[in-house]
């Protein structure tokens, strides 16, 4: 059974989310603060986190940062803040998706299923497929183990950052538009005002550049993004 951790200091919202998730057949764990969430993650095998941003003491951003130090588990972040920069900060911290409160519970369930579908797909591939390693300069990308290393040193990427890197590395020299990347990685309809791909590309670049010292993912202005062999 899939276990989902719901983290929100508002118990009514946590209960509402839990009810919808349970109706879909998921087992739900609940935490009402960041410290409790981290404790449950250390004790339980969790497949996805629904994480509120605004919590006392240890907020959702800090919980997300700590989780990303050692895990690529999908994180769906919730916030009452609707400003673009808050969403950008959440995504750059390591969240895979971001929803504004108040939200439609049915949309939340749809997004949870989408994140789980991608995560389960990669887990299945790692068990059933042969080793598939792409090497670009000093960067090695393993589809089987869903890991990225530079001269043996691991780089912690979110599942979507990994998907973008693997897509570009699998087609070196080809330029992908933001719309193409979004449709291939998120498998959802793209809207012209959507800056999600740009945010993930920036975050991916920062992580890679810290290890290799240059921009592996290149911008072709007005067109999209590519990796040269």
Residues 187 and 206: beta-carbon distance below 8 Å: no
pTM for this prediction: 0.61
Please tell me the class of the 3-124 domain. Answer: alpha beta
Per the structure block, which two tokens stand in for 228? 């040269």
My answer on whether omega of the bond before 187 falls inside 30° of 0, hence cis, is: no
pLDDT greater than 60 at residue 112: yes
Please tell me the class of the 130-226 domain. Answer: mainly alpha
The residue written with tokens 């070196």 in the block is 172
- Section 85-108 average pLDDT: 90
Q: Judging by beta carbons within 10 Å of its beta carbon (0-12, 13-18, 19+), is residue 23 exposed, middle or buried?
A: exposed
At 158, the pLDDT band (50, 70, 90 cuts) reads very high
pLDDT greater than 80 at residue 123: no
More confident residue, 48 or 143: 48
| DSSP letter assigned to residue 176 | B
Alpha carbons 130 and 158: distance in angstroms, whole number: 22
pLDDT greater than 80 at residue 82: no
The residue written with tokens 């007005």 in the block is 222
- Section 172-199 average pLDDT: 86
With a CB cutoff of 8 Å and minimum separation 6, the contacts of 30 are 5, 6, 7, 14, 18
Parallel/antiparallel/unpaired status of strands 147-150 and 153-155: antiparallel
Sequence spans of domains, the chain: 3-124, 130-226
Alpha carbons 127 and 122: distance in angstroms, whole number: 9
For 55-214, where are the alpha helices, taking DSSP H only?
60-68, 84-93, 105-128, 159-170, 178-185, 196-212
pLDDT greater than 90 at residue 189: no
At 128, the pLDDT band (50, 70, 90 cuts) reads very low
């Amino acid at each position: 059974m899939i276990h989902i951790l719901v983290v929100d200091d508002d118990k009514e919202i946590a209960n509402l989310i839990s009810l919808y998730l349970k109706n879909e057949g998921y087992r739900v764990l609940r935490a009402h603060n960041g410290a409790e969430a981290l404790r449950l993650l250390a004790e339980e095998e969790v497949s996805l986190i629904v994480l509120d941003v605004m919590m006392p003491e240890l907020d959702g951003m800090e919980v997300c940062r700590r989780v990303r130090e050692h895990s690529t588990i999908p994180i769906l972040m919730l916030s009452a803040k609707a400003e673009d920069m808050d969403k950008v900060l959440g995504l750059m911290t390591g969240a895979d998706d971001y929803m504004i409160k108040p939200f439609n519970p049915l949309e939340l369930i749809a997004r949870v299923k989408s994140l789980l579908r991608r995560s389960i797909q990669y887990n299945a591939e790692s068990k059933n497929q042969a080793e598939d390693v792409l090497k670009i300069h000093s960067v090695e990308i393993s589809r089987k183990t869903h890991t990225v290393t530079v001269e043996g040193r691991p780089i912690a990427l979110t599942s979507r950052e990994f998907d973008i890197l693997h897509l570009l590395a699998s087609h070196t020299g080809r330029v992908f538009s933001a719309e193409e990347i979004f449709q291939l990685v998120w498998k959802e309809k793209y809207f012209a005002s959507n800056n999600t791909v740009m945010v993930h590309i920036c975050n991916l670049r920062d992580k890679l550049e810290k290890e290799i010292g240059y921009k592996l993912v290149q911008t072709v202005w007005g067109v999209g993004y590519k990796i040269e062999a």
